[in-house]
Chains A and B, each alone.
Chain A
């Protein structure tokens, strides 16, 4: 059992004003918190895939809430129903609110019809992270991939979302690409709507 029930005394959270979302905290505060999230989850798992899955789960919870919040605040209670609409909503609106800028690029995969990529030269969550050699391809961007999946899934676009490092010529640090692979039903619906 979790805790003991007690009479509610507080005002309903839905009665409170939603806020303009302009408040800020220091980047270090976020970085410290994120680092604790990673360290805690590292202790709970015994392989990289599992660690990425747990970070993705945490991100998913954030994404689901971000979608709801932004649809209320930025879009007059409407949400996107078309594939390109929701992708550009993530690339511009969501990115701007969460990371203070639009994402560096949004591209369609060249080999597969159902794949799209959002790339970021310096992803916020990877800024203070260095990956030890023995952790191979581990990418903290899994958290952001989770956010993207949370937004997509809750808007009715189920997808598999993963984060990858892509080396850039002449750059010391690789960029991070968030790869989105939509479920078949999404593409079928999209084809019907065209």
Chain B
């Protein structure tokens, strides 16, 4: 049987079960507020959000691969494109664009204009060092690690800090060669 053709982000988003974005947004807000109360230090909150995102990314990539019929990407450029056009759309219903490639094709920026995480949010003065959406960078890092790519993901621009868009820089550190032969039965 020929492999199924990869599905577009729009088709995928239309086919999955969905919930109101406000429930998602407000729940995320409750998590961030709980972390701030518990940890009392924005750097620690940033770390914890990143860790939560990483845990999600590690699990989310399975569903992504199962539903999207995306096959192995030929290079990092294609990977970035798939994340922006298919991944973000399938889970969050928004599309990102990919820009600012470096000459080697190992670093790029994902630009988000819509971000369902930040509706109703305003950073108070006491939380200026907070990367409110740090969970997203963790998700991208965790998901890519599961497909053998070690990456470093950093926020360059953040609308909550007064920038005009969200800019997430993804830097490919190394491709981890897959262990072969696979030992599924262990």
In the complex, are the beta carbons of B26 and A26 less than 8 A apart? no
In the complex, are the beta carbons of A30 and B24 less than 8 A apart? yes
Interface secondary structure of A, over-half rule: helix
In the complex, are the beta carbons of B23 and A99 less than 8 A apart? yes
In the complex, are the beta carbons of B34 and A58 less than 8 A apart? yes
Stretch at the interface among A16-24, A84-92, A109-117, A186-194: A16-24
Which residues of chain B are within 8 angstroms of A98 by Cβ–Cβ distance? Answer: 20, 22-23
- Please name the residue on chain A nearest to B138 by beta carbon: A36
Q: Give the distance in Å from the alpha carbon of A30 to the alpha carbon of B17 in the complex.
A: 11
Q: Give the distance in Å from the alpha carbon of A57 to the alpha carbon of B129 in the complex.
A: 25
- The residue in A2, A30, A65 that gathers the most chain B C-beta atoms within 10 A of its C-beta is A2
Which residues of chain B are within 8 angstroms of A124 by Cβ–Cβ distance? Answer: 19
Contact surface of A with B, Cβ cutoff 8 Å: 1-6, 8-10, 12-13, 19, 21, 23-30, 32-34, 36-37, 39-41, 44, 54, 57-59, 61-62, 65-66, 69, 97-100, 124
| Distance in Å: Cβ of A180 to nearest Cβ of chain B | 20
Which residues of chain A are within 8 angstroms of B122 by Cβ–Cβ distance? Answer: 10, 12-13
Q: Give the distance in Å from the alpha carbon of A188 to the alpha carbon of B159 in the complex.
A: 48
In the complex, are the beta carbons of B162 and A8 less than 8 A apart? yes
- The residue in A23, A65, A97, A99 that gathers the most chain B C-beta atoms within 10 A of its C-beta is A23
Stretch at the interface among B71-79, B113-121, B173-181: B113-121
In the complex, are the beta carbons of A30 and B63 less than 8 A apart? no
Which residues of chain B are within 8 angstroms of A21 by Cβ–Cβ distance? Answer: 20-22
Known contacts: A24-B18, A26-B13, A30-B23. The answer to whether A54 contacts B34 by CB under 8 A is yes
